[in-house]
Amino acid sequence: RGLRIIGPAWDDTQYAAGAWRNGRSGFTKNGYHLMEVMAELGFILDISHLSEKASFEALERYEGPIIATHSNVRALVPGQRHLSDTQIRTLAERGGMMGIVLYNRFLEAGYLKGDPKDRVTLAHVVAHIDHICQLLGTADYVGIGSDFDGGFGAADIPLEMDTVSDLVKIADALRMRGYIETDITQIMGKNWFDILQRSFS
C-alpha cells in the first residue's frame, strides 16, 4: 500500500538531473542517499525523465527493481528524453522494462504540439515497440506507458485514438505487423503485471 514507485526527477531536483536540460549532470549526494533508502524499502525506481548520466548511474548503482514507465526510442525520435539503444539494452539486462508514450511529439520526429493529428498514427506506436523487440530479440521488456494524465490531450495522440478505450487498437496494429498473440498479450499489459508482481511479492 501507498507509494511504491519513485521517479527521482522530472526536471532538475535536489536528487538528480532531469532530461530537459543536459545529460552531463547526474545524481546528487541526496539522490544517492535516496536510492539507498528506496532499495532498502523495496521501491521501484523509474528512470523516465532522468538525464542520460543519471539514468546510467541508476542502472549501475540502484540495487532494487528499475523501470522506465513512459519513455520512447531515441533512435526514432532524437532527444535525451528518450532512451538510447544502450540504455534500453542495459535496462533489459537489469530485468526492467519500458512503456511507450502515446504523445505524438514523442512518436514522430519534428512533430510540434498542435500539428495536425493525422500526421501520427498507430503505425508510429508500433514502430517504437518493434524497435525495442528487434533490438532485444524478445517482447519481454516493452509495454504501454500512455502518459494520458500528462500535459497533452486528444488532439496530440495518434489519429486512431481519442480516449483510453482506444488503447485496445494497439493490439490490432501489432497483429497487422505480424505479432503473435503471446507477444501482444505481453506488450498490452502482462509485462507490467509480471514486473510489478516480481517487485512487490
Give the start-to-end residue ranges of the domains of the chain. Answer: 1-67, 68-201
- Inter-residue contact 8 to 62 (CB < 8 Å): no
Question: Average pLDDT, stretch 47-59?
Answer: 96
Question: Has residue 24 got a pLDDT over 90?
Answer: no
Question: Has residue 151 got a pLDDT over 80?
Answer: no
Query: For 134, which DSSP code?
Result: H
Question: Average pLDDT, stretch 92-118?
Answer: 95
pLDDT at 139: 99
Question: Has residue 23 got a pLDDT over 70?
Answer: no
Indicate the average pLDDT of the chain.
95
Length of the chain: 201
pLDDT at 61: 97
Question: Has residue 53 got a pLDDT over 80?
Answer: yes
Share of the chain above pLDDT 70, in %: 99
Q: Residue 57 burial by CB count (10 A; 0-12/13-18/19+): exposed, middle or buried?
A: buried
pLDDT by residue (tens digit) across 186-195? 999 999 999 9
Question: Average pLDDT, stretch 44-73?
Answer: 97
- Inter-residue contact 105 to 156 (CB < 8 Å): yes
Q: Indicate the residue type of 27.
A: F
Alpha helices in the chain (DSSP H): 29-41, 52-61, 85-93, 104-107, 122-136, 169-176, 181-185, 191-200
pLDDT at 149: 82
- Using pLDDT thresholds of 50, 70 and 90, give the confidence band for residue 174: very high
Query: For 65, which DSSP code?
Result: -
pLDDT at 21: 77
Question: Has residue 22 got a pLDDT over 90?
Answer: no
Give the CA angle between residues 51, 54, 58 to the nearest 5°: 135
Question: Average pLDDT, stretch 84-100?
Answer: 98
- Inter-residue contact 45 to 6 (CB < 8 Å): yes
Question: Average pLDDT, stretch 124-143?
Answer: 99
Q: Which fold has domain 68-201?
A: TIM Barrel (3.20.20)
Q: How far is CA 94 from the centre of its chain?
A: 15
